[in-house]
Amino acid sequence: MAALVAATCLAYQPAWTGGILWDDDGHLTRPELAPAGSLLRIWFEPGATQQYYPVVHTAFWIFNRLWGHDTLGYHLVNIALHAASACLLWRILVRLAVPGALLAAVIFALHPVHVESVAWITELKNVLSGVFYFAAALVYLGFDRTRRPPAYAGALALFLLAGLSKTVTVTLPVALLVVIWWQRGRITRRDVLPLVPFFALGLAAGLMTIWVERTFIGAQGAEFGLSLVERVLLAARAAWFYLATLLWPANLVFIYPRWTIDAGSAGQWLFVGAALAAVAAAWLARGRSRAPLAAILFFLATLFPALGFFDVYPFRFSYVADHFQYLASVGVIVPAAAGVARVAPERIAAATFAVVLGLLTWRQAHVYADAATLYRATLERNPAAWIAHNNLAALLLEGEPSPDRVDEALRHLDAAIALKDDYAEARYNRGTALERAGRPADAAAEYHRVLEIDPGQPRALARLAALRHDRASALLEQGLAHEEAGRLGEAEQAYRAATAADDGRAVAHRFLGRALHRQGRRDEAAAAYRRALALDPRSFEVHNDLGVLLAEAGRFAEAARHFHTALEIRPGDEDVRRNLQQALSLSSTSRIPE
């Protein structure tokens, strides 16, 4: 076990000093959540953190207290947790008397498909939930043998911690039933009843995650408009994709190409047919061995939350990702290891796989050294990754970029816009690049295009005003920079200065209200929002922001009036429609108060 942990740490050495990637900033503890009292917000205020995984964000909160945003500590924790999961898997397989237990643990620990889960700080949710998942399974298997209540209580508590770390772990009770069926050839009432509370907790966690993904993360819109038939096609193709990357982990990519799902394509139905044929063959062979069918059922059941039947934000740019199969990979790794162990000495096989997979993981871990390296590696293998083009360009424009960096950024932004014409973020960044290139008129045209796509977009408005050499606009720009960096006090000061410089500018009062709102100063924020509405009564953004604030304060009827006005201004906005419906349901009336 010590050798396995050491090999894992060595294979991931290139990731020890890895930088901040992708959405790491959104998961690391923000300044407003750093105080001790903010733990209550992490647990009881959905939306306070990027995802509602309170155990994970409590861990991030603790790490922030210990070493701030120094990435070394986060990476070492991720690696240690992954190694712990591999050790737990080993002990589970030994308890189940599965051949090749050591080999399976080695493959799980060192398989390069798991680099994304281990080397990316955000995926603390994967490796932490994995430890709770495997620990819960190990303890439950002990309960299944002894029927001792303390073991049952321990397994249920570990399962709850797993579900509050990442929702995919709610598939554990299904996995346990598959294992029980594989061992005994049948499932009885005695097997099912103890797992009923597990299923109930899993259902609650799943529904919560679906709501959070839609409400706070943005997993809705045209990109998610797949029919049930199309989702079946997607699920079958994704399952075969994950199997292929496990068996042949070549050309792993942070963002894979987003497939076009077409129910009219005969070729896409081949994935469904092949999946049904594999299940049927395993079913027919169950008399000789239940292992193939058990492996397939475990693999598909654990993958199920990520197969496309439930919308998650990454589906905007890709339907598959390596970290989606972190736990499901066990369904392929274990039978493969058992097969190898039957024909070769296990320790020799484990050493061989450790060397080969360790080298592949070590090489793949270099990709996660920093954000620029990650995006360049992604674009090498997936040039159509429009979001990677935009994000790399944003990095190139940071600070005081040289003309060469500005030119490179423009090339990437042009590519992103060519791939996705309505990509407001890329157009805003292109406006920034054009300003840096000394082309203010072209930059202004780009900001106007941003406003066509996203009316009222505050950064574009601020840049347009700044291009007119307006002091208030310059102060707004400063405030936005402070706010994006989490420096809310400095942002508030800049916005107050902007209102003093131009008291008639509604957007300045709105930004001030937002900064005050984020600091929890609701009364002052409401006053700022009302001043903004006095200047611009038809501001969709202010009506919605004020409605949210009032709803938080329990003033649901008043909030409903503002949501209703916002919906009149922009009738197609589903977020505001949901806000209005919720405010009405919580108020004492079911209609809009006069």
Q: What is the pLDDT of residues 471-491, one digit of tens each?
A: 677 788 889 889 988 899 999
From residue 438, how far is each of 417, 431, 433, 467, 470 by CA, in Å?
A: 21, 11, 9, 12, 18
- Closest of 413, 402, 406 to residue 375, by C-alpha: 413
Q: Are 263 and 249 in contact (CB under 8 A)?
A: no
Q: Do residue 192 and residue 256 come from a single domain?
A: yes
Domain tally, the chain = 3
Task: Name the 3-class secondary structure at 41.
Answer: helix
- Closest of 167, 152, 153 to residue 55, by C-alpha: 167
CA–CA gap between residue 370 and residue 584 (Å, rounded): 47
Check pLDDT > 80 for residue 501.
no
Q: Do residue 347 and residue 436 come from a single domain?
A: no
Spell out a b/e string for 26-46, using b for 16 or more CB atoms within 10 Å of the CB, else e. Answer: ebbbbeebeeeebeebbbeee
Q: Do residue 401 and residue 349 come from a single domain?
A: no
Q: Do residue 513 and residue 483 come from a single domain?
A: yes
Q: What is the pLDDT of residues 293-315, one digit of tens each?
A: 999 999 999 999 999 998 888 89
Check pLDDT > 60 for residue 592.
no
Q: Do residue 366 and residue 383 come from a single domain?
A: no
Q: What is the mean pLDDT of residues 349-358?
A: 97
Q: Do residue 76 and residue 123 come from a single domain?
A: yes
CA–CA gap between residue 250 and residue 258 (Å, rounded): 18
Residue-level pLDDT at 396 = 97
CA–CA gap between residue 387 and residue 341 (Å, rounded): 43
The percent of residues above 90 in pLDDT, for the chain, comes to 78
Q: What is the pLDDT of residues 506-562, one digit of tens each?
A: 888 999 999 999 999 999 999 999 999 999 998 889 999 999 999 999 999 999 999
Q: Count CA atoms closer than 13 A to 166's CA, side-chain side.
A: 24
Q: Are 256 and 315 in contact (CB under 8 A)?
A: no
Q: Do residue 422 and residue 500 come from a single domain?
A: yes
Q: Domain span at residue 198?
A: 2-372
- The predicted model scores a pTM of 0.80
Residue-level pLDDT at 36 = 86
* pLDDT, mean over the chain: 93
Q: Do residue 41 and residue 127 come from a single domain?
A: yes
Out of 484, 504, 531, a domain closes at 531
Q: Do residue 523 and residue 563 come from a single domain?
A: no
Residue-level pLDDT at 469 = 59
Q: Do residue 583 and residue 546 come from a single domain?
A: yes
- Closest of 74, 85, 75, 231 to residue 162, by C-alpha: 85
The DSSP 8-state label assigned to residue 52 in this structure reads S
Spell out a b/e string for 475-508, using b for 16 or more CB atoms within 10 Å of the CB, else e. Answer: bbbbbbebbeebbbebbbbbbbbbbebbeebbbb
Residue-level pLDDT at 572 = 80
Q: Do residue 380 and residue 368 come from a single domain?
A: no
Find the helix or strand (DSSP H, E) in which 55 lies: helix 54-67
Q: Are 542 and 533 in contact (CB under 8 A)?
A: yes
Model confidence at 223, pLDDT cuts 50, 70, 90, reads: confident
CATH number at residue 382: 1.25.40.10
Q: Are 86 and 34 in contact (CB under 8 A)?
A: no
Check pLDDT > 60 for residue 591.
no
Residues in contact with 342: Cβ distance below 8 Å, sequence separation at least 6, in sequence order: 99, 100
Q: What is the pLDDT of residues 107-136, one digit of tens each?
A: 999 999 999 999 999 999 999 999 999 999
Q: Do residue 448 and residue 358 come from a single domain?
A: no
